[in-house]
Amino acid sequence: MKRRLFAVAAGVALPLVSALLACNSLLGIGAAQPEPDDASDEAGDQVSSYTLSCANYCSVINTNCTPSPTVDNTEYLSADVCATICPEFERVATPDGIVDPNEPTPMTNTLNCRIWHANAAQGGSVEAHTHCPHAGPLGGNMCGSDPCIEFCNLDLAFCTGDAAAYGSIGDCMNACEPDGGADGGYMGYPYNINPADPEVTDLASAGNTLNCRMYHLENFLFTGLSVHCSHTSLSGNGVCVN
C-alpha cells in the first residue's frame, strides 16, 4: 500500500517531541467505531465530537493524537497550526452538521473523513497509531488516495513568495511522485506509515521523506521561519535528505 499550506523519515523516525526541540534549537487494523463523545459548550448545549467544524476537529485530534513514552502520534505541532491548515480541507455538508460515527467515508480527502478517524483514535494506543495518520493533514492513505496531492496543495498554499519551495503544483507533484502514480506509484518522497511499528511517526524532522517535508511545512506555520519551507523542497535544503 502506498504511504503517502506558515511552520513541517527515515524508516525509523525519532520521537517527534525531541525532533521538534532539536530543530527549533538549531533555528533559535480493525477500525474502531467509537460512540460520539459529547461535551457541553459555554451555553450548556451538547456539542458532539463529530461536529463538522475546524474547531471541533482540531480539539479532537489534538486530544487523541499525542506523544507518549512509547509512540508519538502527533499530527499538528500546535492547535494554531491545525486551525490554519484545516480550512484547506473540503467539507461535505451533512443534514445536521454532524459526521456519521458509523460512516468513515474512506478515501475522501475531506474534513468529514478526518473527523471520523480523529474520533476513532481515542480507543487506545493501537487505535491512535492506526487512525491518527488517517486524521492528519496527509490523510494516511485513507482520507485521500494520494498524500502527494494533499502535501502539494498545502505547500503551494502556504509557502509562497520568497518562501516558495515549488513553482507550481505540477513541479511539486513531479518531485513527490515522479512517475505520476504509474507502476504502483513510485514516490520520490517516500511516505512512511506503519500501524504495527510505533517507531514510525507520521511527522519526522529529518530524512528524504514526505513525513519530513510535512513536518517542516507545519514548522513554518509554527515558527514563521521561512527556512522551513526550503526543507520542503526537492533538495530538502540539507535537512529532508538521505
* Nearest to 205, CA basis, from 73, 69, 66, 17: 17
* 77 in a structural domain: yes
By CB neighbour count within 10 A (0-12 exposed, 13-18 middle, 19+ buried), where does 3 fall?
A: buried
* Cα 81–chain centre separation: 11
Residue 195 lies in a domain: yes
Query: DSSP for 108-147?
Result: --BHHHHHHHHHHGGG-HHHHHHHHHHHSTTGGGTSSS-H
- Residue 3 resides in a domain: no
What share of the chain in percent tops pLDDT 70? 77
Q: Which SS3 state, helix, strand or coil, does residue 172 take?
A: helix
98-153: per-residue pLDDT in tens? 999 987 666 789 999 999 999 999 988 999 999 999 999 999 999 998 999 999 99
Evaluate whether residue 4 is within a structural domain: no
Q: For residue 22, is pLDDT > 50?
A: no
C-alpha angle 115-120-124 in degrees, rounded to nearest 5: 140
- Most confident of the ranges 30-44, 141-155, 179-193: 141-155
39-40 vs 46-47, strand pairing mode: antiparallel
φ, ψ of residue 47 in degrees (nearest 5): -120, 120
Give tens-digit pLDDT for 219-234.
999 999 999 999 999 9
Residue with the larger pLDDT of the pair 63 and 43: 63
Average pLDDT of the segment spanning 151-161: 98
Structural domain span for residue 96: 16-28+38-238
Q: pTM value?
A: 0.80
- 11, part of any domain: no
Domain annotation covers residue 7: no
Q: Looking at the domain assignment, is residue 33 inside a domain? A: no
Q: How many CB atoms lie within 10 A of CB 42?
A: 6
Which of the residue ranges 138-142, 149-153, 172-176, 180-184 would you say has the lowest mean pLDDT? 180-184
What is the number of structural domains in the chain?
1
- Tell me the three cell numbers of residue 48: 458532539
- Residues in a beta bridge with 40: 46
Burial class (CB in 10 A: 0-12, 13-18, 19+), 236: buried
150 or 34, higher pLDDT = 150
Q: Could you tell me how far CA 138 lies from the centroid of its own chain?
A: 4
The percentage of residues in the chain with a pLDDT greater than 90, rounded to a whole number, is 69
Tell me what the mean pLDDT of segment 7-34 comes to: 37
Residue 194: inside a domain: yes
